[in-house]
Amino acid sequence: MSTFGFYFDSSACSGCKTCQVACKDKNDLQAGIRFRRVYEVAGANWNKTDEGAWEHDIVAYNLSIACNHCENPSCVKACPTTAMHSELDGIIQIDPKKCVGCRYCQWACPYGSPQYNRQKGIMQKCDFCRDYILDGKQPVCVTSCPMRALEFGPISQLIEKYGDNRSVFPLPDPSITKPALFIKPHPGAARASELGGSIINREEVKDEQ
């Protein structure tokens, strides 16, 4: 049972990826491994008008996703070695000494969070900056955000402050894993599905290992 969560204001996220790199710096991650990824969602119809101008109904927004430290973590269930485990405080961590590198957690996670480190042959992922939390500090992604669009805190507190919305297109149904991720959707997000919106920066978020 997770105690902490992220709040993400998608309406304010510019997609600058400072969070992604702040995280990479803290965790010494080589290119290709991203504990936090920024997905660019967009959809639109473009039409030329009779007077020769262009009309569009575009929707575009960003989703910054790390590990959601789900309350019902499918990765922990999937892991054959128990390397992927939930700490008492609900933070889900990988024990590198146990991980066999089977990548099954990667299949099981509906958020693409576990990342495979080819050089080490094991999985890695966001640990909420557990060392920082234990030190009374915030995760490094949260304090990096130039738009102040990320927050971190106890789940109950985040729900009280922002409500209990854990989904936005195209994230999976939150009932699958109960992610500790609370989202303020971009105003356009409601139309994204009907516009045939999709993730358009796939090469910037895919697991390349």
Partner 1 sequence: MGKQNRRDFIRTSAVAGGIALSSPIWFPESLGFNPGQAVSPGLAQNGWIKVGCPAHNCGGRCLLKVLIKDGIITRIETDDRPVDTPADPQLRACIRGRSYRRRQYHPDRLKYPLVRTGKRGEGKFRQASWDEALEIMSVEMLRIRKKYGNQSMFVPYGTGSYSHLNGRWPAERLMNLVGGALEYYNSYSWACISKATSTVYGTGITGNQRQDWLSSKYILMWGWNPAEMRDGTNSDYFIKKARENGARVVCIDPRMTFSAVSLADEWISIRPGTDTAMMSAMVYVMVRENLHDSEFIRTHCIGFDSTQMPKGLENEESYLDYLLGTRDGQPKSPQWAAPITGVPSDTITRIAREYAQTKPAMLYQGYGMQRRAYGEQPVRGGCVLAAVTGNVGIHGGWASGIALQPGGGPLWSIFPTGTNPVKAKIPTFLWTEAITRGTSLSAKEGLTGVEKLDSNIKFIWSVASNILANQHGNINRAGRILEDENLVEYIVVQDQFMTASARYADLVLPVCTHFETWGLEDGWKYGEEVILMPQVVEPSYQTKSDYRICAELAAKLGVYESFTEGLDEKGWTRRLWDQYRETRFPNLPPFDQFVESNQGVYSVPVHNPQISLEEFRRDPETHPLQTPGGKIEIFSETLFNLGRKDEIPAVPKYIQEWESPFGPEAGSYPLQAIGPHYMARVHSTHDNVDWLKEAFPQRVFINPIDAKSRNLSDGERVLVFNDRGKISLPCRITPRIMPGVVAVPQGAWSMPGPDGTDINGNINALSSERWTPLAFGNAQHTIMVAIKKIKP
Partner 2 sequence: MSNSDWPLMVFTLSMQFSVGVVLLYDLFLLFPIALKKEKLPLRFQMILLVALVAALTGVVFSLLHPGNPVNAMKTLSNLNNSWLSREILFFISYSGMLLIVTGLQFRFPSAVRSYKWLLDLTCLTGLVLVYVMSRIYWLPSMPAWDSIFTPISFYLAMFLSGSCFLLLFQLNSGSWTSQKGLAVLIIAIPVIQVALLPVYMSWLEEAGDSARQSVSLLLNQYLPAFYLRLGFEILTIAFGFWAFFSIRSDTLKRRNLFIPALLAFITMVGALVIDRFLFYQQIVPIGNL
> Contact letters (x/-) for partner 1, 136-155, by CB under 8 A?
----x--xxxxxx-------
199: Cβ–Cβ under 8 A, 6 or more apart, which residues?
Answer: 39, 40, 41, 170, 205
Binding partner of 66, given partner 2, partner 1, none, CB within 5-8 angstroms per partner class = none
> Contact letters (x/-) for partner 1, 2-41, by CB under 8 A?
---------xxxxxxxx-xxx-xxx-x-xxx-x---x---
Binding partner of 192, given partner 2, partner 1, none, CB within 5-8 angstroms per partner class = none
Q: Where are the alpha helices (DSSP H) in the chain?
A: 18-27, 74-78, 104-108, 130-134, 140-144, 155-162, 189-192, 202-205
Check binding of 82 to partner 1 (CB under 8 A): no
Check binding of 122 to partner 1 (CB under 8 A): no
Of the pair 133, 195, the CB lying nearest partner 2 is at: 195
Which uninterrupted H or E stretch holds 93? strand 92-94
Q: How many residues does the chain have?
A: 209
Binding partner of 140, given partner 1, partner 2, none, CB within 5-8 angstroms per partner class = partner 1
- Beta-sheet strand order (sheet of 37-43): 59-65, 37-43, 198-199
Query: Helix (H, G, I), strand (E, B), or coil: what is residue 204?
Result: helix
Of the pair 166, 186, the CB lying nearest partner 1 is at: 186
What is the DSSP secondary-structure string of 25-77?
HHHTPPTT--SSEEEEEEE--EEE-TTS-EEE--EEEEEEE-----SS-HHHH
Q: Could you tell me the smallest distance in angstroms from the CB atom of residue 208 to partner 2? A: 10
- DSSP state for residue 184 in the 8-state scheme: E
Q: Could you tell me the smallest distance in angstroms from the CB atom of residue 66 to partner 1? A: 15
Of the pair 48, 97, the CB lying nearest partner 1 is at: 48
Interaction site with partner 2 (CB under 8 A): 37, 39, 65, 74, 76-83, 97-104, 107-112, 116-118, 120-122, 170-173, 176, 193, 198-199, 205
